[in-house]
Amino acid sequence: MDKIIVLIGAPGAGKGTQARLLQERKGIPQISTGDIFREMKTLDTPLAKEVQQIMASGKLVSDNVTYRIVRDRTSRSDINGTYVLDGYPRTAIQAEQLEELAREQGKDIQAIEIDVPRDELFRRLTGRRTCPVCGEIYNIYSKPTKSDNVCDLQPDTQLSHRSDDNEESVRTRLETYETSTAPLIEYFDRTGRLEKIDGTGEVEDIYKQLETLV
């Protein structure tokens, strides 16, 4: 049966990096609510402005807006089998809404927790840099580019530093994770749909653990 693979983990746990690898290497489409909201930020609509403010503060966009977006994206014709959700669900209500979506789409949910200790997350987030062209993710401490702040894959492209990767927003995002999202781990565990991988160490080693589960 087709699945909805839910990557669950704190901001900075590596959900985006791993979801991108699943997409590149296994052709499993990746849907990242964070990426969708970041794309939206550039639009000149009231909703886009609101999303921009919420993201900058590190808080969460409302459950209903987020659900509508996830529903739209996952109903497109290019997503007809298993897909990966990166950054969704993040609240108990979103988890309920996802259950309904999975029923409608006739898919099972498989949750995979990427576990990283809290003190490492802070360093990962504040050191993170992203290529605005191809989306490749670097880190000034653990995965630097070959040439200073220029993407290894896109010549002459300067990396960007996410505006919500500043210390204050990072603190809010980690707190929001603890209160709203971490309880979902227990929820998926109780319902027998949780697997866990160790998110510390090399990207490739983490991917090897993930690959055996999907």
Enzyme catalytic residues: 15, 90, 128, 162, 173
Cα dihedral sign for 165, 93, 39, 45? Answer: negative
Ramachandran sector of residue 197 (left: φ over 0; alpha: ψ -120 to 50; beta: rest): beta
The residue (of 107 and 128) whose beta carbon lies closer to ligand AMP is 128
Contact region for ligand AMP (CB under 6 A) — 60-68, 112-120, 143-151, 202-210? Answer: 60-68
91 contacts 180 by C-beta, under 8 angstroms: yes
Site mask, ligand AMP, residues 107-126, x = CB under 6 A?
--------------------
Task: Supply the minimum distance, in Å, between the C-beta of residue 173 and ligand AMP.
Answer: 5
Q: Which of 105, 116, 103 is nearest to 73 (CA)?
A: 105
Considering only residues 5, 55, 84, 170, which one is a binding residue for ligand AMP as defined by CB under 6 A?
55
Contact call for residue 90 and ligand AMP (CB under 6 A): yes
What CA–CA distance (Å, rounded) separates 167 from 45? 28
User: Locate tokens 């002459």: which residue?
Assistant: 156
The residue (of 110 and 130) whose beta carbon lies closer to ligand AMP is 130
Task: Supply the minimum distance, in Å, between the C-beta of residue 174 and ligand AMP.
Answer: 10
Contact call for residue 61 and ligand AMP (CB under 6 A): yes
Task: Supply the minimum distance, in Å, between the C-beta of residue 45 and ligand AMP.
Answer: 17
Pinpoint the alpha helices (H) of the chain: 15-26, 33-40, 46-57, 63-74, 92-105, 118-126, 167-176, 183-190, 203-211
- The SS3 call for residue 212 is coil
Contact call for residue 17 and ligand AMP (CB under 6 A): no
Task: Supply the minimum distance, in Å, between the C-beta of residue 36 and ligand AMP.
Answer: 8
Contacts with ligand AMP, residue ranges (CB under 6 A): 11, 33-34, 37, 54-55, 58-61, 66, 87-88, 90, 94, 164, 173
